[in-house]
Amino acid sequence: MNTLPLPTTDVTPPSLPMRTLRFLLQIAGYTLGFLLLLGLTFLALRIPAAEALRSLWTGAFGDAQNGHLAALSNTLIETTPLVLTGLGVVVAWRAGLFSIGGEGQLLMGALAATALAKVGGHLPAPLLTVLMVLVATLSGAVWGALAGWLRVRRNVQEVISTIMLNYVAKFVVSWLVLGVLQEHTHHNPQSESLPNTVLFARLLPRQWSDNMQTSLHGGVFLALLAVLVIAVALYRTPMGFGLRVMGQNAEAARAAHFPVDALRMRAMAISGGLCGLAGVIELLGSSTGSLPANDFSSGWGYTAVPVALLGGLHPGGTLLSALFFGALTAGCRNLSQFQGVPTVLIYLIQGMAVLAVVGGRASRARRTGSETE
């Protein structure tokens, strides 16, 4: 009896050059889509597109006339908190937890570091700096673990609890900074400025940057180290494997005897710790070294969500995505200064970037689906 041969399919994975080419084509597609949306936005707002794009580039990367180091320094300074808060989102979301609490965890980290500096001012400066980093990271972890505890013990969805805890953290910071932590004259709504010996060391000579506040500091290396540590933890450790399995299917992870509740607590604690670290890096990296009662954060905890999603929820991708958003922020500030456009254009341009990537991915998924039918 003759039987028809079974259809064969080529399951050989594409070669490295082919994967690299596909990746570059995807990046080119996203870039073209973003530039198209950006051009349409400038036209709608009656902003000269060519001059606006030039201002964006100059603000992010500099030019031959104004120099590159100061602009690159600004971009990296804007990138640093986005890397850490984005990593916090990655860890939580890989574990199947939709944390929106980076803002509150960042504030609690900065608050704990400020309080320690007030009571531990007699300590040697290097030791105090290290302790502030550790205490801030621990405080953010506790704030994140609180949302994890509410999920595990009371079945409170972390989306709601983390958002509410953001407001709690904001009001706690305002209350303490306007109270026991306020500077000694009580004229300014901020804490006492930290001594320069406690702040992070500057990586560029002062004469290379027009503004000391935008000069590069050592906290950038902590963010890069965090990317490496989280990548290893997620993809090279049993705990990371358990987090990713739980994120795919919590019930299957429970059936496989993974400690689901403990893993959820750990994921939220690690996520909060990363955001707390972002808070103390911003505090120790600023030129004033003081915690204001309001507006300490530029919304990094919220921007972290699109940063992580555009980075593919991967530590390396999050680093590149944060760099992109940091460049946009630095460029938009330069654009608002020289073109006279409102600063809220930053968020509009960030939205254009998200739409470009989401649209590109949707088009690719639709095309791939049609090819397999």
> What local confidence, expressed as pLDDT, does residue 369 receive?
63
pLDDT band at residue 65, thresholds of 50, 70 and 90?
Answer: low
**CATH code at 96?**
1.10.3470
Residue 100 lies in a domain: yes
> What local confidence, expressed as pLDDT, does residue 110 receive?
97
Average pLDDT value for residue range 276-295: 92
Whether residue 337 has pLDDT greater than 50:
yes
pLDDT digits (tens, 9 = 90+) for 164-219: 999 999 999 999 999 999 999 888 999 999 998 999 988 875 555 444 445 788 99
> What local confidence, expressed as pLDDT, does residue 203 receive?
80
Whether residue 47 has pLDDT greater than 50:
yes
Please state the pTM of the whole predicted model: 0.88
Residue 101 lies in a domain: yes
pLDDT band at residue 67, thresholds of 50, 70 and 90?
Answer: low
pLDDT digits (tens, 9 = 90+) for 130-164: 999 999 999 999 999 999 999 999 999 999 999 99
Percent of the chain with pLDDT over 70: 88
Contact 223, 80 (CB under 8 A): yes
Q: Which of 136, 138, 140, 143 is nearest to 162 (CA)?
A: 143
> What local confidence, expressed as pLDDT, does residue 208 receive?
52
Residue 262 lies in a domain: yes
Which residues constitute the domain of residue 126? 68-341
Distance (Å) of CA 15 to CA 6, 309, 369, 371: 26, 26, 22, 20
Average pLDDT value for residue range 75-81: 93
- Span of 75-84, 228-237, 255-264, 335-344 with lowest mean pLDDT: 335-344
Tokens of 187: 């004229």
Residue 23 lies in a domain: no
What is the C-alpha to C-alpha distance for residues 95 and 205, in angstroms, rounded to an integer?
42
> What local confidence, expressed as pLDDT, does residue 97 receive?
96
pLDDT band at residue 11, thresholds of 50, 70 and 90?
Answer: very low
> What is the number of structural domains in the chain?
1
> What local confidence, expressed as pLDDT, does residue 309 receive?
87
Residue 3 lies in a domain: no
Give the alpha-carbon dihedral of 16, 22, 23, 29, to 10 degrees: 170
What is the C-alpha to C-alpha distance for residues 363 and 49, in angstroms, rounded to an integer?
26
Q: How many CA atoms lie within 13 A of 50 on its CB side?
A: 0
Whether residue 45 has pLDDT greater than 70:
yes
On average, the pLDDT of the chain sits at: 86
Average pLDDT value for residue range 344-358: 76
Average pLDDT value for residue range 78-84: 95
